[in-house]
Amino acid sequence: MKVNVVLGLQWGDEGKGKIVDVLTPAYSVIARFQGGPNAGHSLEFDNKKFVLHTIPSGIFRDKVTNIIGSGVVIDPVIFVEEVNGLKQLGIPVAQRLLIAKRAHLILPTHRIIDAASEAAKGNTKIGSTLKGIGPTYMDKTGRNGLRVGDILSPAFLDRYEALKQKHLAWLKQFDYTYTIDDYEQQWLACIDVLRTFTLIESELVVNKYLSESQKVLAEGAQGSLLDVDFGSYPYVTSSNTICAGACTGLGVAPSRIGEVYGIFKAYCTRVGGGPFPTELDNETGERIRQTGCEFGATTGRPRRTGWLDVVALKYATLISGVTQLIMTKADVLDGFESIQAAVAYKIRGQETQQLPFEINEPIEPVYKTFKGWNRPITNIRKEEELPFELMNYVRFIEKETGVSVRIISVGPDREQTIVRS
Ligand code: GDP
Ligand code: IMO
Ligand code: MG
3-state secondary structure of 4: strand
Binding pocket residue ranges, ligand 1, CB within 6 Å: 8, 12-18, 39-42, 44, 292-293, 297, 328-329, 331-332, 409-412
Q: Which of 14, 121, 128, 301 to mutate to test the pocket of ligand 2 (most atoms within 8 A of CB)?
A: 128
Ligand closest to CA 226: 2
Question: Which residues pair with residue 108 across a beta bridge?
Answer: none
Q: In DSSP terms, which residues pair with 305 in a beta bridge?
A: 269
Q: Confidence class of residue 123 from pLDDT cuts 50, 70 and 90?
A: confident
**pLDDT, average across residues 70-77:** 98
How confident is the model over 84-109, as pLDDT tens digits?
999 999 999 999 999 999 999 999 99
Of the listed ligands, the closest to the CA of 377 is 1
- What is residue 306's DSSP assignment? E
In this predicted model, what pLDDT tens digit does every residue of 15-54 receive, in sequence order? Answer: 999 999 999 999 999 999 999 999 999 999 999 999 999 9
pLDDT grade for 175, boundaries at 50, 70 and 90: very high
Distance CA 290, CA 299 (A): 17
The atom of ligand 2 lying closest to the CA of 12 is: 10
Give the residue-averaged pLDDT of 128-146. 97
CA atoms of 332 and 66, how far apart (whole Å): 31
pLDDT at 297 over 90: no
The rounded Å distance from CA 295 to ligand 3 centre is 9
- Whether 13 is a known active-site residue: answer yes
Three-state secondary-structure class, residue 158 = helix
Residue 53 catalytic? no
pLDDT, position 369: 98
User: What's the whole-number average pLDDT of the chain?
Assistant: 97
pLDDT of 68 > 90? The answer is: yes
CB atoms within 5 A of ion ligand 3 belong to 13, 40, 297
pLDDT tens column, 210-242: 999 999 999 999 999 999 999 999 999 999 999
pLDDT value at position 420? Answer: 95
